[in-house]
Amino acid sequence: MSDAPPDQGDYRPEIATATEVRPLTATERLFHLILPHRALGHLPGQFVQVSLPGIGEAPISVSSSFTRTSGFDLCIRRTGNVSEALHRVKAGGRVGIRGPFGCGAPLEKCMGQDVLMIAGGLGLAPLRSLVQYICDYRDRFKKVTLLIGARTPETLLFADEYNAWRNEGKINIEATVDTAKKGWTGSVGLITNLIPQIEIWPTSTVVVACGPPIMYRFVMRKLQQRHIPDDRIYLSLERRMKCGMGKCGHCQINDVYVCLDGPVFRYDRLAALPEAVS
Amino acid sequence: MVDTKLVRQMALFEDFDRKEIEELAELCSIREFSKGETLFAEERPATHLYTLLKGRVVIMMNGVRGQHALVYTVQPGQAFSWSAMVPPRRYTASAVAVEPSEALIVEGRKLAKLFKTRPQSGYKLMCRVAQLISKRLRHTRLQLLNIHDWQTPENSESKG
Ligand SMILES: Cc1cc2nc3c(=O)[nH]c(=O)nc-3n(C[C@H](O)[C@H](O)[C@H](O)COP(=O)(O)OP(=O)(O)OC[C@H]3O[C@@H](n4cnc5c(N)ncnc54)[C@H](O)[C@@H]3O)c2cc1C
Ligand code: FES
């Protein structure tokens, strides 16, 4: 790893310091990282490649908005080699960072519009960046709604921040879980159940959804029933990635590079890529 | 007796003709429930078919050791308690209002009696009830798969 700022398109990571690490759930941790020479300079929806020497690299979405601090947050779920090792990094520890990569969320499109964000599970990690951005520039957006789905109340991410998002950000938040014990006051059931309940003006709403591909299948049906045009719906895709720069072809679907052209795509542009959301 | 307009808006009774809607309106009534009130209890005889008009109702099941699992939240506009239409007519779960709520209710046996003489309309209603049950089944399957993180025999093997 080099300590110098990287060239554009460089494969060498920069070393970032984890200034804070906190567990969010049994499987997710939130890392606050700082780069030595620069702010990350990312937009909501973009991702970085995070690495540990001798172990490997993984694409991770940035979970905070550039409007907040000089550093940035990553919410990492423990799933395999790299993420397991990252979970062992403590405050003061160092990790490699390349990026930011990808084209991010459609901020311009959302401005002056109602915004509906739909987050399934870990999908709230990238959307938190957009939520923070909206809270910080609230007057640029009209009605903002955030639908959140998780397996159980215990696996809801950033639950301690919902009140601030509701009160300061004036965001209407509805959370639903697949199962819960008595005492849970939110909804129980699929995230799609929440869509018929919200007030939607189809031609002045922009939808940004992030979650597992199976969620997109059912969410798209409900959004179409609510007559939201396909060119007002954006989905964030996940593909296996290596370079993050449109060079290696790992993330390629036909002529589309998810790392470069996405990961956030307008739904009508995915029409020619049926495997993208299946 | 409730307003026929209200009955016409219910998904269960879509496509019913004016006469049928009038007859249905005779059988329906509106009930209010306060927060925390039990609408019906698991295993009890299932008497009424409900459509939620306002508020929120949670469907819960008794688990082992007296624990309750919340399995579904009914949102306004949704029908529930299909057990009232299907033998053995026992509630398969309990329903509790988690907010002050209002529901349109109709007695299952009276519905059955009404449609006995009009099998075509009865068939239409039972198709809607079957749709309701099938939708709940699909949702339950998806919820289960989510809970188990979509672990199928194939992908759990490949994860080692
Ligand atoms: C653009 C993008 C943004 C992402 N953002 C986040 C994030 O914010 N937080 C987070 O925790 N994870 C995120 N991921 C997923 C993360 O990159 C993978 O889980 C990564 O494989 C973890 O590396 P690992 O070595 O720990 O696990 P591996 O050993 O590589 O894999 C562990 C398990 O995850 C599966 N897997 C690997 N890659 C993917 C993938 N791309 N999509 C679906 N399943 C995969 C494997 O099949 C395996 O079962 C993102 C992925 C992409 C492409
Ligand atoms: S990850 Fe290499 S082309 Fe996208």
Q: Each residue's pLDDT tens digit in chain A (278 positions)?
A: 444 444 555 788 999 999 999 999 999 999 999 999 888 989 999 999 999 999 999 999 999 999 987 899 999 999 999 999 999 999 999 999 998 999 989 999 999 999 999 999 999 999 999 999 999 999 999 999 999 999 999 999 999 999 999 998 899 999 999 988 888 888 999 999 999 889 999 999 999 999 988 888 889 999 999 999 999 999 998 888 888 888 888 888 888 888 888 899 999 988 777 777 76
- Ligand 1 within 6 A of A58 CB? yes
Query: A183 C-alpha to center of ligand 1: Å?
Result: 33
Tell me the CA distances in angstroms from A207 to A24, A146, A173, A189, A231, one per residue in order.
26, 10, 14, 21, 10
What's the residue count for chain B? 160
What's the residue count for chain A? 278
Q: Quote the longest CA-to-CA distance of chain A.
A: 54
3-state secondary structure A43-79: CCCCEEEEEECCCEEEEEEECCCCCCCCCEEEEEECC
- List chain B residues with CB under 8 Å of A184: 70
Q: Which two tokens stand for residue A183?
A: 């005492």
**How distant is the Cα of A130 from the closest Cα of chain B, in angstroms?**
25
List the domains of chain A with CATH numbers: 14-101 (2.40.30.10), 107-270 (3.40.50.80)
Q: Which fold has domain B29-148?
A: Jelly Rolls (2.60.120)
Tell me the CA distances in angstroms from B30 to B19, B33, B93, one per residue in order.
20, 10, 21
Quote the pLDDT of residue A262: 85
Residues of chain B short of pLDDT 70, as ranges, are 64-66, 149-160
Given a contact cutoff of 8 angstroms between Cβ atoms, the answer to whether A184 and B67 are in contact is: no
Quote the pLDDT of residue B152: 54
- Is the full-model pTM beyond 0.90? no
Q: Could you tell me if A198 lies within 8 Å of chain B, comparing CB atoms?
A: no
- Which of B70, B75, B149 is opposite residue A180, by nearest beta carbon? B70
